[in-house]
Structure 1
Amino acid sequence: MTPATATPMRTRTGPIPTQTHEPSIEIAGRFGPRYDEVLTPEAVAFLTELHHRFGARRHDRLADRMRRRFEIGNGHDPQFRDDTRHIREDAEWKVAGAGPGLEDRRVEITGPTDPKMTINALNSGAKVWLADQEDATSPTWKNVIEGQLSLRDAIRGELSFTSPEGKLYEVTATETPTIVMRPRGWHLPEQHIRFTDRTGRRMAASGSLVDFGLYFFHNAEQLIANGRGPYFYIAKLESSEEAKLWDDVFTFSEQYVGIPHGTIRATVLIETLPAAFEMEEILFELRDHIAGLNAGRWDYIFSIIKNYRGRGARFVLPDRSEVTMTVPFMRAYTELLVKTCHKRGAFAIGGMSAFIPNRRDPEVTERAFEKVAADKKREAGDGFDGTWVAHPDLIPVARAEFDAVLGDRPNQLDRQRPEVEVAAADLIDVHIGRPITTAGVHGNVSVAIRYIEAWLRGLGAVAIDNLMEDAATAEISRSQVWQWIHQDRTTEDGTPITRESIEALVAQVLAEADRREGDRFDDAADIFREVALGQDFPAFLTLPAYAKYLVETD
């Protein structure tokens, strides 16, 4: 281990509080090649200041999440807030909107930040690259820091990569996508960085503040010089209070490095049920810093299951494949998102279809193109200003559907959707009327275990059965299994879904797995049992998996 600490310099006014310690950060993770270029004393001092100012508020917001989840579980359905009605009814305010390089977002590509994937994204021809340190990245210490190095080099035009087979990867595109970086959500810790507060209490750092802080500190000025800016996708928000916390982080950070207020632009993923009831309030709290909202469909489905998992049979969803964007609660959520965004001058960005092409299988590729084209045609027709894809070959497919609607216009912010009326009940209308199938149960167990196994090996975005799976889709898979068991569900042929029947499927998946030296299938199965078969329901599968298997120790 190579420890590094830093204590920030501050100017105080008024009485000096009694204290025993200056806030400080300690780097507990191992230092690899060039890690000192990311973990500089100046950057560590900035991380220290972020944690000193905002760490306690983060914990308060996480406590709020637990209370809200408890209330929903005990029969109190979410509602549009009365105490913020004045925000929704004030027609005058607008958000900052697009920053330089974000005016046209019709196709965005998502992916992790390792060097090869960074180069592929920059060469892809997309308008925007979501540089994902969140659900598409397994948060190993190596991935966290080396992802920052990839981004640093890419922003300075210095990135290249040679594969173990000797293939050279370089950025060759004359016009590269605008980078929008996604830090981890508020719930995730960074155990390889330890923060000590004024009382001497030592705790894990915030994954959000680490990812945001290192990227912003090292790259904000260079991004501005490049004609773009420090832009962020913000994940897993559940309330406008959480949005206000991010806004305060942004304002302080701009002041810290001396750039104008409002330079940062955020796009917030609406991917939790509580956030769907506070879209306008989230935009309002971030109004000086926000460019738009994104319909994070997979985490949104997971959030529905998580919040209603114990509320009875009418809240049980069928096979994951049947929960499409046209079922009632998903339709209501996306239509409300577009209307809300355009009312306030914000971009509405669509979600990602999981289908991906297979260059070795033309039939699979043709089916992926058809499914993605239909999905993007619906989004463009509904008023979205852009969309996500997870594979470069899908960019022309998605672009064609948005070009057909947008033409030469960069967006369709002028489309207000006055005909859309969404009530609170519409957002929780989860009745689909389709069965749970034996194949659906097996698929959930298989996908969850295979994804977790790859995640434990450091892979966050994984092609499984010609679908692109990330942490969100694994969460759907395991949470459905948990709910089906606890709600005494049966498959359409009358087979009860029990812990015993799922254990048999776990054994089958392990027997069918492509086992090889160094695989993590046994560990993955243990995590799956904990998060899908236990009496308790962990809020995120990544929390126990990270704590048990990804934290480096002496």
Structure 2
Amino acid sequence: MLDEGTVNQTTQRYYSARSLFVTNMLSDAHSRVFSREAQDFLAALCDRFAERVSILMAQRVKYQDVIDTGIKPDFRQDTEYLRQSDWRIQGSVEDSLKDLQEITAAPKRHIITSALQTGSILFVADFEDSMTPVWERVLDGQLNLHDAIHSESYWSARQNNDALDVATGPTLFQCRVRGLHMTEKHVLWNGCAMPAALFDFAVYFYNNHRQLLENQCSPHFCLPKLQSYEEACWWSDVFHFTEQLFGLGNGTIKATVLVETLPAAFQMEEILFALKEHAVGLKFDIHDYIFSYIKTLKNHRDSVLPDGQAISLEAPFVNACCTLLAAICDKRGALAFTEPAGSYRPQQSEYFQSLESVGRDQKTRASTEQLLCPCSGPRTEQGMRQLIAVAIKHIEACLSDNGCKSQDESQAATVFTEMARVSIWQWIQHKQRLDNGSLITKALFRDYLSQEINIVRKQVGAVRFDQGRYCEAAYWFSEQVTSDQLSDFLSLNSYESLP
């Protein structure tokens, strides 16, 4: 049980006998969703699963070290029996998911309200790329989801298909937790920042599963940045433990896995098998996938890519992953999804509709060479400058706690900044040239950066520029691009500067 801790009418802070410590005071509103009982559940999860995350992250480092020596990714030999076995995911897939438009956005109250009024949708509450993980904002997001899911008028509208003036409308909720690589520094487990994925899962599940199940909806999660079969097994164990703890049937919890890393492309069947009791489907995200392709193959000169604008779904390595994903999902009874290209946009799934016949052809299997085959295209001065400008605006928005949203929302997603960072870094490292003949060097990058920061100043105005953190954002980006070692995620560094 949890100790009493400090409690008064305005703030609450709890201390757990299981070595769970909340570093910040909680408001009364936040205590509704991060209650003593929710913390007790979180402590139980940490006790069983937190240490395994460190092992999984160490396995990622070991895998990348091998790739950096010149070895290319490939299908695993030790799991070939799973790919050759005859199995399908268990439990029924919610057919309604096939017909819903998807909106992926930060779980802000006004966004949820607008989303629920648009009609039949799948609202993906994104705690990862669509918001800056400031402590108060994370808790606000959980509170907003709780209030929407527990709204009687919302469920009445679902049953009657009514259009109301409040946050209502027939929809399904999905919680996109943060990746396993991220931590929640405001909650310590045994003195260390705990896995952010566990925090997001525990708080959302504890507060909402009963209400969802009472209304014939599953607690549904979206799992980002997975790279391996072992990581999927970890999530399966978390789900099974939770279902047993709360007396729920096997497979009550549902999950959609984002295929957005190159290592995961070679283990999609293994990932589905590990989550076969809970999996709904696989979802492909082209922008995160391009970022992962560059980052994973950063030392491979034969895998350098052109401008991101020149990479489409028809690019060989992208097309091969989509084709393989569609075939696997059809074979294993799962759904195949595309990830919306931007935040807060309805999903466009025409590409996977065009792949329907491909997915039904069991002989259609992308090879290792196809999954790794890069695409050709230009590297332009305009494209490089655009990458720099996008990065400055986005990083500034995050540092200023604007929820990972620049004023130009089409360029707001975190992944675009990551693509810019790894692309320019790789061009510099491998001595690539722009189509105008200029050699891409650290000096050229710094020259463009200096010019672009002045252009941004003119665009936003002197007052907004001076009040903002644009110079700090430019410094952050420059440090990342000109470093001799490429860091895994920009968010891991910027997170430490957030309150």
Residue in 1 that maps onto 2:480: 531
> More helix per residue: 1 or 2?
2
Give the 3 Å change call, closer, same or farther, for CA 492–356 of structure 1 in structure 2. farther
Which residue of structure 2 lines up, in the alignment, with residue 338 of structure 1? 326
Over residues 270-294 of structure 1, what are the superposed CA-to-partner deviations in whole Å (9 max), with x where a residue is unaligned?
Answer: 1101100011100000000110000
Task: Give identity over the alignment, percent.
Answer: 32
Task: Say yes or no: does 1:224 pair with 2:213.
Answer: yes
SS of the equivalent of 2:151 reads coil
Structure 2: distance between partners of 1:331 and 1:269: 16
1:518-547 deviation per Cα after TM superposition (whole angstroms, max 9, x unaligned):
412122112212221212211000000001
Alignment partner of 1:29 out of 24, 34, 58: 24
Q: 1:105 to 1:136 in 2, by over 3 A?
A: farther
Give the Cα–Cα distance (whole angstroms) in 2 for the partners of residues 122 and 528 of structure 1.
37
AA paired with 1:265? K
Q: Which residue is equivalent to 1:406?
A: none
Q: Which residue of 2 aligns with 1:91?
A: 86
Distance of 1:31 and 1:422 partners within structure 2: 50
- Shift in Å, 1:210: 0.5
Shift of 1:419: 4.9
Instruction: Give the aligned partner of residue 353 of structure 2.
Output: 380
Aligned to 1:5: 15
Q: Extract unaligned runs of 5+ from structure 2.
A: 1-10, 155-163
Amino acid at match of 1:41: R
CA deviation profile, 1:196-243 (whole Å, cap 9, x unmatched): 1xxxxx100111000011000111111111221110000000001000
1:42-441 equivalence runs, <5 A: 42-99=37-94, 102-157=96-151, 171=166, 173-175=168-170, 177-196=171-190, 202-312=191-301, 314-354=302-342, 376-383=349-356, 416-430=360-374, 432-441=375-384
Cα distance in 2 for residues equivalent to 1:171 and 1:527: 41
Select the structure with the greater relative contact order (CA < 8 A; seq sep ≥ 6): 1
Contact persistence 1:28–1:193 (CA under 8 A) = yes
- Cα gap change, 1:261 to 1:295, in 2 (>3 Å): same
Paired residues of 2:114 and 2:167 also in contact (CA < 8 A): no
**One-letter identity of the residue aligned with 2:86:** A
Alpha-carbon distance between aligned partners in 1 of 2:344 and 2:239, rounded to the nearest angstrom? 35
Following the alignment from structure 1 to structure 2, what is the Cα–Cα distance between the partners of residues 232 and 337? Answer: 19
Q: Which whole-Å deviations, capped at 9, do the CAs of 1:388-411 have from their partners, x for residues lacking one?
A: xxxxxxxxxxxxxxxxxxxxxxxx
Distance (whole Å) between structure 1 residues aligned to residue 103 and residue 343 of structure 2: 14
Distance 1:217 1:320 in 2: 40
Residues 189 and 156 (structure 1 numbering): CA distance in 2 closer, same or farther, change over 3 Å?
same
* CA deviations over 1:146-181 (Å, ceiling 9, x no partner): 000000000011799xxxxxxxx9535442x20011
* AA aligned opposite 1:182: R
Q: Give the whole-Å Cα distance in 2 for the aligned partners of 1:342 and 1:535.
A: 43
Whether the aligned pair in 1 keeps the contact of 2:428 and 2:441 (CA below 8 Å) is yes
Cα distance between partner residues in 2 of 1:524 and 1:317: 25
Alignment-mate amino acid for residue 37 of structure 1? R
Query: Over aligned residue pairs, what C-alpha RMSD do you find?
Result: 2.3
1:115-144 deviation digits (Å, cap 9, x = unpaired): 011112222224311111111111111111
Report the more deviating stretch, 291-300 or 528-537. 528-537
Check whether the contact 1:25–1:193 (CA below 8 A) recurs between aligned residues. yes
8 Å contact kept, 1:109–1:121 = yes
| 2:413 is equivalent to residue 470 of structure 1 | yes
Cα gap change, 1:184 to 1:522, in 2 (>3 Å): same
Task: Name the CA shift for 1:114/1:33 in 2 (closer, same or farther; >3 Å).
Answer: farther
Partner of 1:388: none
How many Å separate the matches in 2 of 1:530 and 1:339? 42
Which of 450, 454, 463 is the aligned partner of 1:507? 450
* Runs of 5+ unmatched residues, structure 1: 8-22, 161-168, 197-201, 358-371, 384-411
Matches of 2:373 and 2:212, distance apart in 1: 43
Question: Could you tell me which of 19, 34, 39 is aligned with 1:39?
Answer: 34
* 1:269–1:293 Cα contact (<8 Å) kept: yes
Does the CA contact (< 8 Å) of 2:224 and 2:260 recur in 1? yes
Partner of residue 398, structure 1? none
SS of the aligned residue for 1:136 comes to coil
SS in 2 for 1:497: coil
Q: CA deviation at 1:258?
A: 2.1
CA distance in 2, matches of 1:427, 1:56: 33
Q: How far has the Cα of 1:461 moved from its partner?
A: 4.9
- Quickly say closer, same or farther: Cα 1:456–1:95, change in 2 above 3 A: farther
**Matched position secondary structure for 2:280:** strand
Aligned pairs, how many? 474
The normalised TM-score by structure 1 is: 0.81
